[in-house]
Amino acid sequence: MDDDFDLTADDTYPRADFAHANGSGSADPDEDDMDDSDDPARPLSTIPPAIISKFAISSSRRRPNILVTGTPGTGKSTTAELLALATNAQHIDVGRWVKERSLHDGWDEKWAAYVVDEDRVVDELEDKLAQGGVVVDYHGCDFFPERWFDLVVVLRTDNGTLYRRLEERNYPAHKLTENTTAEIMQVCLEEARGAYARSALCELRSDSSEDLDRNVEALAAWCEEWCEAAKEAQGGEDEE
């Protein structure tokens, strides 16, 4: 058992996930909004440089927003929570917000999940993200505005490890198959690649507690670099 990883079930799904399951597609991202200035030789397994985007500069944000995404069971919530604690940021677990604030279109019996109302989620989060200093986690990522996030982290987990974690969450057989297949097919990674600039994207291993500690430490260091770069780019003093 992975004692350091949250075993709470991911029981919310974006509408697009249900559409994919039924054979229909989702909207393409707006390519005009994507900045792909990163070094194409950089492996996605490394965290990109702390670059201050035009969105961050225009909004005068002094702290970065980070999205942690990945297949259910990869350790998103645990990673995001520990990172928020390490950087004094706010952690928003979108699945929990959806249930607590009824940001959904009801319960789907077949998939045993709430169908997320993406528009209402975006409206609910807009003001929070505009302030900066937020770590968001969710297994869907392509319905969030690209301008929100300075770094998008896709967590990846060995399929055997993932299967055991999901079993411990008491996932039914069809959801075990759905999620382990999604990890094999890199569904979350491809979704992130299609929605965000490569310069803001990385994929990190999340197989063990050692990976968890290593990832949180590296991401916290990145946040510190970003804050220093933002102060230099925008001028002025630190926020009180």
Q: Are 107 and 12 in contact (CB under 8 A)?
A: no
Q: What is the DSSP letter of 111?
A: T
Write out the binding residues for ATP: 73, 75-78, 169
Compute the distance between CA of residue 105 and CA of residue 82 in angstroms, rounded to an integer. Answer: 31
CA atoms within 13 A on the CB side of 48: 25
Q: How far is CA 39 from CA 81, 114, 201, in A?
A: 30, 39, 12
Write out the binding residues: 73, 75-78, 169
Compute the distance between CA of residue 48 and CA of residue 147 in angstroms, rounded to an integer. Answer: 17
Structure tokens at 69: 């995404």
Longest Cα–Cα distance in the chain: 55
Place of tokens 């993200």: 129
C-alpha gyration radius of the chain: 17
Q: Are 205 and 211 in contact (CB under 8 A)?
A: yes
The residues, ordered by sequence, that sit 6+ positions from 84 with a Cβ below 8 Å of its Cβ are 90, 91, 135
Compute the distance between CA of residue 113 and CA of residue 13 in angstroms, rounded to an integer. Answer: 6
